[in-house]
Amino acid sequence: MIWLDVLVQGILLGGLYALFAAGLSLVFGIMRLVNLAHGDLIVFAAFAILLITATLGLNPFLAALLAAPLMFAVGWALQRFVLNRVLGKDILPPLLVTFGLSVALQNGMLEVFSADSQRLSVGALESASINLGIVTVGTLPLLTFASAVAAIFLLNRIFYTTALGRAFRAVSDDPTTASLMGLNPKSVFAIATGLAMVIVTLAALYLGMRANFDPSIGPARLLYAFQAVIIGGLGSLWGTLAGGAIIGVAQTFGAQINPEWQILAGHIAFLVVLLIRPRGLFPRAVD
């Protein structure tokens, strides 16, 4: 019975990783840009939520609601003023700029917020659980997973049924022709990164409520997000959820055997998938 429990915990943990990954996947899908500072931006958003809860005395959920538009602006400005200038055929400049941003963000947060571990406190919710008959699951992990499903559902709706999503896909296909349709690809990119930062805020909310965070943990979140994206198959958001679940399950199983193996087990699951399915589990046909 313990293994069923471990399996369920792992899948729910995967919801958090899918939230980490969704923004990364969105940005890569639209502009083929890999943001190496993605993990640090998640931590940054967590600190933003923390700061709002502390100064306004708000509940983290409400604070995240306030932080989301701020993070949208951060993402929009980052794309508009920095990343758009280095996007091009050569993949090196955007990678190096975002790597520089990662180092700068980490150390900036270290100066401002110190290396102390922080947590978004939600009182009783932290330890609440629901009995599902065969297993008992934490309310918060369940909520995380449900939020991931909702976020991915919404993102897919935006992507495939709205005018904005149409613009995303058109610009991704062919920026020059898209500009002949009156779309400004750089503005569309800026909106996409802004949107990705809204999802980052959601990811940060659950990251901060479920575990301690400090300025140094960003890169590891980037790696989990990246693994979920690759396992799922580039361009498939539902695949990303499956990818997150696989990493999550591998981690909880690893931890069950030996607590030191938790992270390692996740990485190894990723390598195994990469070995047998290089294009991921659900690759998009057109790429």
Partner 1 sequence: MAFLSTHGLTAQYGQFKALFGVDLHVNPGECVAIIGANGAGKTTLMRSITGVLRNAPEMIRLGDTPIGALPADQILKRGIAMVPEGRKLFPSLSVEENLLIGGQVRKGSGRWSLDEIYGLFPILKERRHSPGTALSGGQQQMVAIGRALMSNPELLLCDEISLGLAPVVIRDIYAALPAIRATGAAVIVVEQDITRALSVADRVYCMMEGRVTLTAPAKEVTREAIHAAYFGAAA
Partner 2 sequence: MHQVTTRTRASTIAGIAALALIAVGLILPAFAPRSLIQDLFFILTMLTLAQLWNLIAGFGGMVSVGQQAFVGIGAYAMFAGVILMGWDPVPAILLGGLAAFLLAIPMAFFAFRLAGAYFAIGTWVIAEVTRLVIAQWKTLGGGTGTSLPREATSDIIGVETIANLFGLRDAAARDVLAYWLALGLAVATMAAIYALLRSRTGLALAAVRDNDNAARSVGVDARRVKWIVFLAAATMTGLVGALIYVQTARISPDAAFSVTNWTAYVIFIAVIGGIGRLEGPILGVLVFWGLQTAFADYGSWYLLALGVLAIATMLFAPRGLWGLIHDRTGLSLFPVQRRLILIDERSKP
- Residues within the interface to partner 2 (CB under 8 A): 28, 32-34, 36, 82, 85-86, 91-97, 99-108, 110-111, 219-220, 222-223, 226-227, 230, 234, 260, 263-264, 267-268, 270-271, 274-275, 278
Q: In terms of CB distance, is 225 or 234 closer to partner 1?
A: 234
For partner 1, the binding residue among 176, 259, 271, 278 (CB under 8 A) is: 176
The pattern of x and - marking residues 105 through 144 that bind partner 1 according to CB under 8 A reads: ----------------------------------------
Q: Which stretches of 59-213 are DSSP H helices?
A: 60-77, 84-86, 92-113, 139-161, 163-173, 175-180, 185-210
For partner 1, the binding residue among 2, 115, 163, 275 (CB under 8 A) is: 163
Backbone angles phi, psi at 220, to 5 degrees: -65, -40
How far lies 141's CA from each of 41, 77, 87, 130, in Å? 22, 32, 37, 10
In sequence order, what DSSP letters do the residues of 25-78 get, joined into one string?
A: HHHHHHH----TTHHHHHHHHHHHHHHHHHHH---HHHHHHHHHHHHHHHHHHI
167 binds, among partner 1, partner 2, none (CB under 5 to 8 A by kind): partner 1
- Cα-to-chain-centroid distance, residue 108: 21
For partner 1, the binding residue among 80, 119, 166, 267 (CB under 8 A) is: 166
173 binds, among partner 1, partner 2, none (CB under 5 to 8 A by kind): partner 1
Distance between CA atoms of 126 and 276, rounded to whole angstroms? 38
Helix (H, G, I), strand (E, B) or coil at 138: strand
Count Cα atoms within 13 angstroms, Cβ side, for 165: 9
The reply to whether 180 sits near partner 1 by the rule CB under 8 A is yes
Q: Taking the complex as a whole, how short is the minimal distance between the CB of residue 150 and partner 1, in angstroms?
A: 24
Helix (H, G, I), strand (E, B) or coil at 280: coil
Q: Taking the complex as a whole, how short is the minimal distance between the CB of residue 76 and partner 2, in angstroms?
A: 17
For partner 1, the binding residue among 133, 182, 259, 278 (CB under 8 A) is: 182
Q: In terms of CB distance, is 114 or 177 closer to partner 1?
A: 177
Of 22, 44, 33, 212, which Cα lies nearest the Cα of 116? 212
Q: In terms of CB distance, is 32 or 136 closer to partner 1?
A: 32
Q: What is residue 80's DSSP assignment?
A: I
277 binds, among partner 2, partner 1, none (CB under 5 to 8 A by kind): none
Q: Taking the complex as a whole, how short is the minimal distance between the CB of residue 262 and partner 2, in angstroms?
A: 10
Which pair of structure tokens corresponds to residue 44? 């940054």
Distance between CA atoms of 29 and 26, rounded to whole angstroms? 5
Binding site for partner 1 (CB under 8 A): 163, 166-167, 169-170, 172-174, 176-184, 286
